[in-house]
A and B are shown apart, each in its own frame.
Chain A
Amino acid sequence: QNKTQSHSRGEYNVYSTFQSHEPEFDYLKSLEIEEKINKIRWLPQKNAAQFLLSTNDKTIKLWKISERDKRPEGYNLKEEDGRYRDPTTVTTLRVPVFRPMDLMVEASPRRIFANAHTYHINSISINSDYETYLSADDLRINLWHLEITDRSFNIVDIKPANMEELTEVITAAEFHPNSCSTFVYSSSKGTIRLCDMRASALCDRHSKLFEEPEDPSNRSFFSEIISSISDVKFSHSGRYMMTRDYLSVKIWDLNMENRPVETYQVHEYLRSKLCSLYENDCIFDKFECCWNGSDRQVEFLIVMTGSYNNFFRMFDRNTKRDITLEASRENNKPRTVLKPRKVCASGKRKKDEISVDSLDFNKKILHTAWHPKENIIAVATTNNLYIFQDKMN
């Protein structure tokens, strides 16, 4: 479901709302399967309709979203309200014509891909061949064909023979944007593995392993937990990929495995609060990250991710500048330029700065998205969706 706020020159209204998944009950385990959607991915558009994949913990669905703004009128055998006419009363014939009507948006489920995941699905990614896609849960990655719902192929399986030896899980996976046999998956230990499906049917052996050695000066009890990668996104060229862990965003060059080329601190001031954040579970929050969109073949220059207190952050890779903005109704009227925010980590708080202790950790921005072509962004807070636009437009 979507609710929109108009916060920019354009006005936005809800386009369509539909129920994608329903809660289910797993009788075998006596546990409920939530209807909560974990990921949505759009398919590339081929005709007038839009297609998207949405997934909850267990089931992936392909939805077709189509518009209807005309309807035929003037049937010979049917009244306008649909009732059938008695053929004996028909005296003249006419040709039905299309007349405009109020826009109606219809969403219909086209495929249901079920029963392939024992663990909770955390990622789906559509391949550049536009025919297959992958779905990843905590321990396995499966490859599907969009047309075939009763079969999927397991391409990664990291489940140990003895579950008690389990120390690492898969946290995200994505296909390479250009190479249809290449994909990456990230882990709870902060590693990214790049795999080539041509190498073997089961890609348990990676082609590349991306991992940054731990900084000994920052070592703590929580080092492993905060290194867990919550999101991985390729740049459009496929030369770089971006990962999000609890405190930072890292840009990796696919040609260099031993460390990222850039690291951006999202909220370093939380490093001294990790114990509290562990206790209240915030340390397990999964933030996403995104590249800016561009219709030019230019390497992507701005990355964006969310934080707490309804803050979100943008990093400019060229200038190395960063900015913190807030998505809230109280502080921003529509059509005003967003004011940069600053968090005061310690010491004397300047005017307009917000101290770390007054941050609201219930107001978290986990999902942000950038329009693929224009400088329009969508930012999701707990109960609202904000759409912001570049003031230059």
Chain B
Amino acid sequence: MLGKGGKRKFDEHEDGLEGKVVSPTDGPSKVSYTLQRQTIFNISLMKLYNHRPLTEPSLQKTVLINNMLRRIQEELKQEGSLRPMFVAASQPADPLSDNFREAQPAFSHLASAPLLPADLVSTMPLESCLTPASLLEDDTFCTSPAVQHDDGAAKPPPPALQAVKDSFSSALDEIEELCPAPTSAEAVAAEPAAGDPKAQPGEPDVHNKPEGLPEGRTAEPKLMDPLPGNFEITASTGFLTDLTLDDILFADIDTSMYDFDPCTSAAGAASKMAPVSADELLKTLAPYSSQPVTPNQPFKMDLTELDHIMEVLVGS
């Protein structure tokens, strides 16, 4: 629409996507519904975090995009609650499991590649595996201890995992079970996903958010502050750091979706989003890594190192 030639193809694809209203309960069209939903979710994330305005972003636009994200998360959550499997729990006090939980997205980052084709086949529990929301919700508890509140806006409490480590290995097994032999279409989608996970776009760059929130996540506790001063300062961006912000930080499992996301144009835009989630990951994995951790440093850890770190975490 904006550049007629190229966009026309996009529009046709989008028209195929959108077309009529697709109910989530239809059989084969459930796939396109899920695809559309994921596309919109990705676009919404990019909108919220990808731009760096010199002026205050429009509160109305932010609220509408945030509502969109919440609605999609709600849906995913409801679908996921039918068969709770990979849905994480509330916080443990154990620092080791803290690290475990934060490494978990890294693991899912690898596992999600084969999971993606399964998602196209679209069974409920698989979607719950790939859902950032359920995992992330509990990640917020362990990484931002000040944020103890209810997330507001009608979010059902996540079901708890009894023993984290037990479920982790059993979840591993389940993933392997559920992962079917890829069909031709899925193989095409899986190939770029599995082939180069390093290049997969990660989450939007949180550290590039407007300067009004330079502390990044550490500013979240300030949102609880009833003092009007703090509210005013962080007002238009601060309220974003409810679920959404933390979702972004740990949404590695979502990254594979970006690969066949028809809306993500160039790798350039995508690569800009990579560093931050990696930064967070690096910070938490710092004790286990020999690399110095600085924010904004591009994510240089390669796959083998990641494997090694995972072994260390899982083994102990």
Contacts and interface: CB of A to CB of B under 8 A. Distances in A.
Interface of A: 28-34, 57, 118-120, 138-139, 161-169, 171, 188, 217-221, 224-225, 228, 272-281, 284, 357-359, 361-362
B77 to A, nearest CB: 16
Contacts of B11: 273, 276, 357
Given A163-B223, A225-B68, A120 B56 contact: yes
B55 A28 contact: no
A393 B37 CA distance: 53
15 contacts: A28-B233, A29-B211, A31-B54, A32-B55, A120-B59, A162-B224, A165-B153, A165-B239, A167-B63, A217-B21, A219-B21, A221-B68, A273-B14, A274-B18, A357-B4
A138 B59 contact: yes
A287 to B, nearest CB: 14
Contacts of B224: 162
B186 to A, nearest CB: 23
Given A163-B239, A284-B61, A357 B233 contact: no
A228 B60 contact: yes
Contacts of A273: 1, 11, 14-15, 18
B17 A275 contact: yes
B239 A164 contact: yes
A361 B2 CA distance: 7
Given A162-B223, A279-B263, A31 B64 contact: no
The 8 closest A-B pairs by CB, nearest first: A163-B239, A164-B242, A165-B152, A138-B59, A30-B211, A164-B239, A169-B60, A29-B212
Interface string B248-274: 000000000000000100000000000
Chain B interface size, under 10 / 10 to 19 / 20 to 34 / 35 or more: 35 or more
Nearest to A28: B233
B152 A272 contact: no
A165 B2 CA distance: 35
A139 B63 CA distance: 12
B230 to A, nearest CB: 10
B258 to A, nearest CB: 14
Contacts, number: 130
A138 B60 contact: yes
A34 B232 contact: no
Interface of B: 1-2, 4, 7-8, 10-11, 14-15, 17-19, 21, 36-37, 39-40, 43, 47, 53-56, 58-61, 63-64, 66-68, 70-72, 149, 151-153, 210-212, 223-224, 226, 231-236, 238-239, 241-242, 263
Contacts of B241: 164
Nearest to A138: B59
Contacts of A168: 63
A163 B21 contact: no
Contacts of B64: 188, 224-225, 228, 284
Contact of B2 (A162, A166, A188, A280): A280
Contacts of A272: 15, 18-19
B40 A31 contact: no
Contacts of B55: 31-34, 57
Contacts of A120: 56, 58-59
Contacts of B210: 31
Nearest to B20: A272
Contacts of B19: 272
A165 to B, nearest CB: 4
Contacts of B21: 217-220
Contact of A163 (B54, B67, B238): B238
Given A169-B60, A284-B61, A357 B39 contact: no
Contact of B235 (A118, A161, A165, A218): A118
A32 to B, nearest CB: 5
A224 B1 contact: no
A151 B4 CA distance: 51
Contacts of A362: 2
A220 to B, nearest CB: 6
A357 B1 contact: yes
B236 A119 contact: yes
